[in-house]
C-alpha cells in the first residue's frame, strides 16, 4: 500500500493506529473513545470514517503488513516527536500528515483520544524518532498540591514544623557509635520538647493542644528526620506520657504529665519481659500491696522475668511498670505503676538494676535496656488507677468488674501508639520509595544502540512495576491511617475494642508492606542503595522491627480475625478462644451472592477500574474466609477437639482471614475518603492510585480467587495486565506523586535523590 | 454408644481413628495404608475388620457424635501419652485399651500405620493428656550424617577447615567502626592465606590444589564466620587472583598468581564504574596503546567514569582494571590490565586517586573504594592477554575473532564468582534459619490454659510454614550449587555460555530466596532477632547486596531468558536482542502435551509427592512461557516494532521466563542428585524435602497454573494443604535438618541459638 492510498483525513490517524495496534490491549470502552472521536471529527469524509472504524474491529484487526507499512510511512517522513508539546502524539501525527500533504493545523479529536486513552510518551518511546531530550517526568500534577491534600488536617502546623526541622540538630548524619548517637537523639528530643511538640496530644492544662491527629503527623515527620528520634519521641511522649494521660488520675496528671511533656521528667514504658513479649497477660513481674505501709512492692521473680527492650531505659528517671497486682493475696491482673528508677545523680535506686540491651539492627539512637526489680517499694499513690485502684481500707476496686475486659481496656488506650507505629512504617516506605524514584529518574542503563542515550531506569516496565504500585499503596494507607487516628481520637467510650482490632490488622499489613517496599527500593537503587549516605539502609534497618513491636504482626492478625469471627460483639480478644466460639453461628448464616458467570470473566477496563469491583472482590474474600474458618472450627468442636487445638489447626486460615479483613478495610476507608474530595483531576488521579493498589491486592490473592471460581483465568490475566498498564500510565506522574509525600527537602539528604 | 460396644480388637484403634478423623486430610493412598494394616491384623475378627473399614469410608465418614464418644472414651481412661516412646500413639492406644479390657502388649500393625502415615506428636499435641515434658525434637535423623551427605565432596578438608576456624581471630564479635573492622578482616585474610586456604583453586605450581569445588565450600564456611571476611576473601583470591588465573599468560601467573594466593600481593578487581554497573560493555575507562613506549595509558575520561565499589581498594597495591582497549585508534572492546596502585609506602602512585566508599548497610569490614586514573602508564606486558593481546609490531590479535564472543568469554571466566555469591547467600540463609529454628525450639508463648506450659513457637503451624519450607529449599539449593560448580569446573572449553546462563538464573533465584529466608528468620525471632548479638542482623545486612553484585538479579534473569529463547545456541548474550530473534522460530515449534482433565484435579498424595509431577509442572511452565514470549515478540516484530521495544514490552514476561527456567533447573538437578544416593531413610527424607520445596514453588506460581488450566481449584488447594502438612511432618526433624547445615559450633555464637 502506498501513501497515496490514504486520504488527508486518515493520514494523521496513522501514528495513533500504529501505537494502538502495536499493543493489543484496547478494551471495549477504549475502542468506544476512539469511535466517538472519529464520529465527531469533521475532517473525515464518510469513507474515511468507514475505513478507520474498520481498523478498530478487534475480531478482524489490521494485517501485520498494513501495520508495518504505517511504520514505514511514519519513518519515511523523517519527522521527529517533540515531547514537550502538550499533545505530543497529536502534534507529531499532524506533522507526519503535513509532510505528505502539506496541510497544517491541529486536530482536537486526536487530542481527545490521546488524553482519554492515557497514551504517554513511554508507550511509544522507541517507536518514533524523538527530537528533544527525553523528559524524565510530566508536570500535569503538582507535588505541593498533593502534599496539601494528604496533609489537609493540621496543614499550617505541619508547615511550621517542617520549618522548625531546618535547625541544625536535625540535619541527617551517619551515626555508628551508640553512645554518641543516643546523646544526639536525646538532645534532639529536648529541643522538640522545649518547643511544645512532644505534648501536642496532651490536655492544654498539661501544655498540649489535645490534638492526637497532628501529633501523629509530627511523629511521621520525625521518621523523615531519623527513626531513632521518632521512636524515642514515641516512647517519651506517647508511651510514658500516654500511660499517665490514659491510665492516671487527675493528681497524677498534674504531678507528672506536664513534666513528661516538657521532658523535664524522662520516663520509660516497662511492659515487655524477656519471657513474655506478645503474651502480656502472662508477665511475671508482681506488684504486691502492703497495707501497713500503704505501698506496692515491685518484684522480678525469675531470671527471664526482667523487663526487656525498654526504650529510654538508660536516660529515664521513672518508669511506668506493668505488673500483676496482688492485693490481699488475690491477683487482680496486669496494672501500671509509676516507679522511680534513678536519683538526682542518675544513680539507680535501691533494688533496681538496669542493663543496656546493646547494639541492634537499627534504632541504635534509642537506649533500650533490661530492668530488674528486687523488692522495690513505691507508695500506693503511684498506681495508675483510672481503671483499677486500692482504697484506703486496702481493698481493690475497679469500675470494670470483668478482669479480661479491664485488661483489654487498659491496653486499648495504647491503640494510638500502634497507629503511630504503622504511620512510622509508612513514612519509612514513602521516603525509601521517594529516593528510589528520584534515582530511577536520573540513572540510565543500557539501550538498543550504544550511540543513543541509555534508558532511564524508570522507563523499564519491570522498574515501574516494582515501584509504582507501592507508591500507590502509600497514598491508600496514608488516608487509611488518618481515618484510623480520627476514629480513635473521636471515640470517647472506654470500649475501644473495634478500633483496636482494626488498628491491629492495619498495623500488621502496613508494616509488612513497608518492609517489602523498602527492600524493593534498596534493590531498585542497586549498589547505591546499599550505601548509608543514601539513607535507604537506615530506613530499612530502623523500620524492620515495626513488624514486631507494639504487637507482633502474626499475633495481631489473629486478634483481628478473632474480632471478625465474633462480629466484634464479644470479648473476643480475651486471650482464650472459647469466647469466640459462641459467636461462630452468626458467621455461618452469612449468605453468598452467586457469582454471575459473565462477571467471572468480565475484563472491560471500566469494570476493572471500578471501586465497586475492588470492594466486591475483597469483601467476597473476607466473607468466604470467615464462613469457611467458622465452619472448620465448628466441625472440629463437634468432634470433641478442644477449642485451642481447633484454633491451632486452622491457624494459617485465621491469619489469612485477619489479612483479608484488613485489606478490605483499607480499600473501603480510602474510597470513602475520595467520595468527599472535590471532583477534579487530582481526585481522578487518586482514583487511579486506588485502582492500582486494589488490583495489585486482588492480583496478590489471585490464586485464592481462582480456586474459588470468583475469577476466571481470562480476568485474572487481564488484572495482571492492568496492573502493569496502570503503572506505565502513572509513570509520567511518579515524580509529582513522591513529591506529594511532603518529605522536607533538608531531610532528603541522599545524594542519589538530588 | 458405650465402651461395651467396642470389641477388644477395635479398642486400640480408637485413638488412631480419633486422630485421623479429627482432620479430614486422608488421601486414597493413605486410606490404603490403614486398610492394608487392618487386613493383616490377626487381633481383629472379621466383624471388627468390617467395622473399621466402614469407618474409613470417606463418602460416609463417622458421625460427629461417634467421634466425640471416642474422645470421651480416651479421656475417661485417664491414660497419659508418653512422647519418648518409639511409637507414642500406638503405646498410648494400647494403654487405653488395657484400661478397658486389661489386655497388655503391642500391635505391630498400628505401629506400621503410625510410621507410614507420618503421624507426629504435634498432630495430637492438644488432643490427649501428655505425661512427660514435650520433646522439642526427634532423634530419628542425625545432623552429622546429613552434614556428611551434604558435604561429601572434600569432607575431610572441611573438617580440618572447621577446626582451623576455632582459632581466636575467627571468633565472632560485634564491629561498628569500619577502620577497626577492616583491619580485623585483613588480619583474618592473612591468617587464611598463610595456611594456603586462599590458593585452593589455583594450580599446584601457584600453591594451590586446583580444587574449585572445595574452594567454594571454604568460601561458604567463611560466611558462617563473617560476611565481610567471605567477600574480602572472594575479592582477593577469587576475583583478583582469578582474573590472573583465567585471563593471564603463563609468565603473568608465575609473577603474580602465587603472590596473590599467599596474599603478599593484595589486589582488587576494578570493573564496575559509577556510571556503569550492570552494563559492563558500556564502561568508559580507556586503555590506549602507545607503540613508542610499548605501554598502555589507563584513563578515566568523565566524572561518572571512575571505578566504583571496588573491594580491597584501600588495602590493595595492584588492580585488575577493565577498560576499553584502544589500539591504533580502534576499540577492541573491554580488556583487563594489571595496574599498580600504590608504592612500597602504600602511597597512591602518580595519576591514581582512591577514595573510601564509606559506610554501607553491611559488609563494613570490606574496604570498598572509588578509583580514578589520570593518564596512568603501564607496560603492555601488564595486559592480561590470554584472549586478546598486542604483538611486537603493535597490532591487536585474539584467538576469538568476534568481539562480542570475546567479551563474553572473558566475563565467562567469572562464573565461579557468581556461584560463590549464590553459595554465600545460601550460607547466610542456612545460618539465619538455624538460629531461628533453635530459638523456636526453646521459646514458648501462649497456651489455652495459663497453668500448662506455654507452647513452643515451633509448634505453631504458622511458624512451621514460615521456616520449614525454607529449610527444605536450602537442601535443594545446596546440591544445586554443588552441581553448578562441578559443571563449571569440569567444563574445559572456552565456551561456558550455557553454564554461565544457568548460573546467572540460579544466582538470582537463590539470592532472592536468601533475602526472604533471612527476613522470615528475623521476624520469627521477634525482638531477639533484632539484637546484633543474635547474628541474624549481620547476616541480613551483609547478604542484602548479593541480589545486586556479581550481576543485578533483574539483569541476570533477562540473560537467562535470552538463553532459553535462543536455545543456548547463539551469541544470545551479546547484549543486543536481534541475535535472539533468529532463534525464536525454534521455540515456536514446541509441542504441548494436552493436559488430561483428570490430571488437572488429581490430588492423591502419591501423585503430589511424585518428583515426576513436580518436574512436569515446572517444565510445563517453562515451555509455555517460552512459547508465549517468543510468540509475543514475533508478533511485535511482524508489525514493524523495533526489536528493542519489543523486548521492553515483554520485559516482565521475560523475567518470569528467566525465573521459570531457573526453578525447574534447580528441581531437576536436585532430583538427579538423589537418584545416585543409597536407598535409605536419609534419601527418603531428602525426597520429602524435595517435595516440600517443589510444591511450595508450584504453590508460589499457582495463579499462573490456574490461569493456564494446568491446575484445577481442587488441586491447587490440595497443594497448599500438602505444603502445610509436610511442614508439620518435618517439624520433629527440623533440629537435625539445621544441624545438617554443618555450621561450626563456635561460629553459631547467638545466645538464642544455644
pLDDT at A411: 81
Q: Which of A532, A701, A706 to mutate to test the interface with B (most CBs of B within 10 A)?
A: A706
**Residue B64 contacts A where some CB pair is shorter than 8 Å:** yes
> Considering only residues 463 to 502 of chain B, which have any Cβ-Cβ distance to chain A shorter than 8 Å?
465
Q: Mind listing the pLDDT tens digit for each residue in B148-173?
A: 999 999 999 999 999 999 999 999 99
pLDDT at B451: 37
Q: Mind listing the pLDDT tens digit for each residue in B576-607?
A: 556 666 666 666 655 566 678 888 989 988 89
For residue A552, being part of any structural domain is answered with yes
pLDDT at B406: 87
**Residue B655 contacts A where some CB pair is shorter than 8 Å:** yes
Q: Which residue of A has its CA nearest to B577?
A: A448
Low-confidence ranges of chain A (pLDDT < 70): 1-4, 24-25, 84, 120-123, 125-126, 130-135, 277, 413, 445-454, 568-594
Among candidate residues B123, B151, B170, the one where a domain is terminated:
B123
B70: burial class by Cβ within 10 Å (0-12, 13-18, 19+)? buried
Q: Which residue of A has its CA nearest to B63?
A: A639
Q: Mind listing the pLDDT tens digit for each residue in B331-352?
A: 999 999 999 999 999 999 999 9
pLDDT band at B262; cut points 50, 70, 90: very high
Chain A contact set for B553 (CB, 8 A): 523
Q: Annotated catalytic, A550? A: yes
Q: Which residues lie closer than 8 Å to A403 by C-beta, 6 or more apart?
A: A332, A333
> Considering only residues 352 to 371 of chain A, which have any Cβ-Cβ distance to chain B shorter than 8 Å?
357-362
Other residues' Cβ atoms within 10 Å of the Cβ of residue B492? 6
Total residue count of chain A as it appears in this document: 754
**Residue A52 contacts B where some CB pair is shorter than 8 Å:** no
pLDDT at A3: 52
The CA–CA distances, whole Å, from B707 to A604, A719, B55, B300, B601 equal: 18, 12, 38, 52, 14
pLDDT at A182: 98
For residue A528, being part of any structural domain is answered with yes
CATH of the domain at A524: 1.20.140.10
Q: Which residues lie closer than 8 Å to B582 by C-beta, 6 or more apart?
A: B566, B570
Tell me if B359 and A64 make a contact (CB, 8 A cut-off).
no
Residue B1 has pLDDT above 50, yes or no: no
Mean pLDDT of the residues in chain B: 90
Closest-CA distance, B522 to chain A, in angstroms, reads 9
pLDDT at B280: 82
Q: Which of B707, B709, B710, B731 to mutate to test the interface with A (most CBs of A within 10 A)?
A: B707
Q: Mind listing the pLDDT tens digit for each residue in B347-369?
A: 999 999 999 999 999 999 999 99
For residue B459, being part of any structural domain is answered with yes
pLDDT at B248: 96
Give kind and range of the element (H or E) at residue B436: helix B415-440
Q: Mind listing the pLDDT tens digit for each residue in B380-415?
A: 999 999 999 999 999 999 999 888 888 888 887 678
pLDDT at A139: 78
CB-side exposure of A152: number of CA atoms within 13 Å? 9
CA distance A35 to A385: 72
pLDDT at A110: 92
**Residue A105 contacts B where some CB pair is shorter than 8 Å:** no
Chain A contact set for B519 (CB, 8 A): 515, 519
* Residue B689 domain boundaries: 415-747
Tell me if A527 and B272 make a contact (CB, 8 A cut-off).
yes
Q: Mind listing the pLDDT tens digit for each residue in B668-680?
A: 999 999 999 999 9
For residue B661, being part of any structural domain is answered with yes
Residue pair B343/B349 in contact (Cβ under 8 Å)? The answer is yes
Listed range (A702-716, B451-465, B511-525, B732-746) with the worst mean pLDDT? B451-465
Tell me if B526 and A552 make a contact (CB, 8 A cut-off).
yes
Active site residues of B: 550
Residue B452 has pLDDT above 60, yes or no: no
Q: Mind listing the pLDDT tens digit for each residue in B688-712?
A: 999 999 999 999 999 999 999 999 9
Among candidate residues A123, A156, A176, the one where a domain is terminated:
A123
**Residue A522 contacts B where some CB pair is shorter than 8 Å:** yes
DSSP classification of residue B672: H
Chain A contact set for B70 (CB, 8 A): 640
For residue B178, being part of any structural domain is answered with no
For residue A658, being part of any structural domain is answered with yes
Tell me if A645 and B532 make a contact (CB, 8 A cut-off).
no
Residue pair B556/B658 in contact (Cβ under 8 Å)? The answer is yes
Task: Average the pLDDT over B99-119 and give the result.
Answer: 85
Domain count, chain A: 2
Closest-CA distance, B4 to chain A, in angstroms, reads 20
Q: Mind listing the pLDDT tens digit for each residue in B208-257?
A: 999 999 999 999 999 999 999 999 999 999 999 999 999 999 999 999 99
For residue A373, being part of any structural domain is answered with no
pLDDT at A408: 80
**Residue A23 contacts B where some CB pair is shorter than 8 Å:** yes
For residue A553, being part of any structural domain is answered with yes
Between A and B, how many residue pairs show a Cβ–Cβ distance under 8 A? 243
Chain B contact set for A178 (CB, 8 A): 176
Closest-CA distance, B177 to chain A, in angstroms, reads 7
> Considering only residues 124 to 143 of chain A, which have any Cβ-Cβ distance to chain B shorter than 8 Å?
125-127
pLDDT at A188: 98
Tell me if B523 and A553 make a contact (CB, 8 A cut-off).
yes
Angle between helices A651-675 and A611-638 (to 10 degrees): 150
Chain B contact set for A533 (CB, 8 A): 358-359
Nearest to A324 by CA among A273, A370, A256, A257: A273
**Residue A162 contacts B where some CB pair is shorter than 8 Å:** no
Among candidate residues A73, A103, A123, the one where a domain is terminated:
A123
Q: Mind listing the pLDDT tens digit for each residue in A570-604?
A: 554 444 556 666 666 666 655 566 678 888 989 98
Identify the residue with better confidence: B741 or A136. Answer: B741
The CA–CA distances, whole Å, from A132 to A129, B267, B311 equal: 10, 44, 39
A598: burial class by Cβ within 10 Å (0-12, 13-18, 19+)? exposed
Identify the residue with better confidence: A682 or B135. Answer: A682
Amino acid at each position: 500500500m502506498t501513501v497515496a492510498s490514504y486520504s488527508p483525513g486518515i493520514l494523521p490517524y496513522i501514528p495513533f493506529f500504529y501505537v494502538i495496534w502495536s499493543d493489543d490491549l484496547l478494551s471495549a470502552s477504549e475502542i468506544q473513545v476512539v469511535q466517538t472521536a472519529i464520529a465527531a471529527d469533521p475532517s473525515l469524509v464518510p469513507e474515511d470514517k468507514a475505513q478507520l472504524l474498520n481498523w478498530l474491529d478487534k475480531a478482524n484487526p489490521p494485517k501485520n503488513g498494513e501495520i508495518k507499512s504505517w511504520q514505514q510511512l511514519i519513518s519515511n517522513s523523517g519527522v521527529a516527536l517533540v515531547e514537550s508539546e502538550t499533545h505530543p502524539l497529536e502534534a507529531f501525527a499532524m506533522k507526519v500528515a503535513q509532510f505528505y500533504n502539506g496541510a497544517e493545523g491541529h486536530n482536537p479529536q486526536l487530542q481527545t483520544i490521546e488524553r482519554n486513552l492515557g497514551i504517554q510518551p513511554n508507550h511509544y518511546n522507541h517507536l518514533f524518532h524523538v527530537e528533544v531530550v527525553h523528559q524524565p517526568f510530566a508536570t500535569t500534577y503538582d507535588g505541593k498540591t498533593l502534599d496539601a491534600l494528604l496533609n489537609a488536617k493540621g496543614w499550617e502546623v505541619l508547615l511550621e514544623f517542617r520549618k522548625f526541622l531546618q535547625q541544625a540538630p536535625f540535619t541527617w548524619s551517619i551515626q555508628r557509635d551508640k553512645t554518641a548517637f543516643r546523646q544526639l537523639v536525646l538532645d534532639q528530643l529536648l529541643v522538640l520538647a522545649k518547643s511544645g511538640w512532644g505534648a501536642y496530644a496532651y490536655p492544654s492544662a498539661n501544655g498540649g493542644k489535645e490534638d492526637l491527629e497532628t501529633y501523629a503527623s509530627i511523629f511521621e515527620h520525625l521518621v523523615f528526620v531519623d527513626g531513632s528520634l521518632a521512636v524515642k519521641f514515641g516512647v517519651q511522649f506517647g508511651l510514658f506520657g500516654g500511660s499517665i494521660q490514659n491510665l492516671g488520675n487527675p493528681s497524677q496528671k498534674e504531678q507528672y504529665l506536664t513534666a513528661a511533656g516538657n521532658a523535664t521528667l524522662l520516663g520509660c514504658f516497662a511492659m515487655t519481659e524477656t519471657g513474655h513479649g506478645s503474651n502480656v497477660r502472662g508477665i511475671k513481674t508482681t506488684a504486691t500491696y502492703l497495707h501497713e505501709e500503704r505501698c506496692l512492692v515491685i518484684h522480678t521473680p525469675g531470671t527471664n522475668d526482667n523487663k526487656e527492650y525498654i526504650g529510654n531505659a538508660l536516660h529515664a528517671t521513672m518508669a511506668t511498670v506493668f505488673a500483676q497486682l496482688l492485693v490481699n493475696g488475690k491477683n487482680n491482673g496486669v496494672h501500671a505503676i509509676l516507679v522511680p528508677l534513678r536519683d538526682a545523680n542518675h544513680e539507680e535506686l535501691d533494688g533496681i538494676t538496669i542493663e543496656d540491651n546493646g547494639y541492634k539492627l537499627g534504632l541504635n539512637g534509642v537506649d533500650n535496656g533490661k530492668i530488674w526489680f528486687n523488692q522495690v517499694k513505691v507508695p500506693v499513690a503511684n498506681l495508675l488507677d483510672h481503671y483499677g485502684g486500692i482504697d484506703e481500707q486496702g481493698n481493690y476496686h475497679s469500675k470494670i468488674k470483668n478482669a479480661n475486659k479491664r485488661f483489654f481496656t487498659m491496653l486499648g488506650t495504647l491503640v494510638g501508639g500502634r497507629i503511630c507505629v504503622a504511620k512510622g512504617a509508612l513514612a519509612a516506605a514513602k521516603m525509601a520509595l521517594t529516593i528510589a524514584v528520584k534515582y530511577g529518574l536520573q540513572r540510565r542503563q543500557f539501550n538498543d544502540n550504544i550511540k543513543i542515550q541509555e534508558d532511564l531506569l524508570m522507563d523499564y516496565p519491570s522498574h515501574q512495576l516494582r515501584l509504582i504500585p507501592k507508591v500507590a499503596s502509600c497514598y491508600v494507607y496514608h488516608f487509611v491511617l488518618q481515618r484510623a487516628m480520627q476514629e480513635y481520637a473521636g471515640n470517647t467510650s472506654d470500649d475501644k475494642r473495634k478500633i483496636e482490632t482494626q488498628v491491629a490488622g492495619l498495623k500488621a499489613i502496613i508494616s509488612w508492606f513497608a518492609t517489602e517496599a523498602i527492600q524493593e527500593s534498596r534493590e531498585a537503587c542497586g549498589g547505591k542503595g546499599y550505601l548509608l549516605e543514601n539513607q535507604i539502609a537506615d530506613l530499612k534497618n530502623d523500620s524492620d522491627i515495626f513488624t514486631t513491636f507494639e504487637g507482633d504482626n502474626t499475633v495481631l492478625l489473629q486478634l483481628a480475625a478473632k474480632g471478625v469471627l465474633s462480629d466484634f460483639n464479644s470479648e473476643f480478644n480475651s486471650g482464650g478462644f472459647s469466647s469466640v466460639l459462641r459467636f461462630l453461628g452468626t458467621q455461618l448464616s452469612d449468605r453468598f451472592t452467586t457469582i454471575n458467570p459473565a462477571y467471572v470473566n468480565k475484563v472491560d477496563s471500566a469494570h476493572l477500574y471500578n471501586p465497586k469491583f475492588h470492594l466486591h472482590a475483597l469483601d467476597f474474600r473476607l466473607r468466604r474466609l470467615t464462613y469457611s474458618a467458622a465452619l472448620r472450627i465448628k466441625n472440629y468442636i463437634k468432634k470433641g477437639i478442644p477449642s485451642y487445638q481447633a484454633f491451632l489447626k486452622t491457624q494459617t486460615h485465621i491469619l489469612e482471614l485477619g489479612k483479608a479483613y484488613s485489606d478490605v478495610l483499607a480499600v473501603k476507608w480510602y474510597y470513602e475518603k475520595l467520595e468527599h474530595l472535590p471532583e477534579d483531576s487530582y481526585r481522578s488521579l487518586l482514583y487511579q492510585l486506588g485502582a492500582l493498589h486494589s488490583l495489585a491486592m486482588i492480583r496478590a490473592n489471585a490464586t485464592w480467587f481462582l480456586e474459588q471460581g470468583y475469577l476466571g483465568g481470562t480476568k485474572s490475566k487481564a488484572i495482571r495486565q492492568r496492573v502493569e498498564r496502570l503503572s506505565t500510565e502513572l509513570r509520567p506522574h511518579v515524580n509529582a506523586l513522591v513529591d506529594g509525600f511532603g518529605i522536607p527537602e533538608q531531610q532528603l539528604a541522599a545524594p542519589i535523590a538530588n
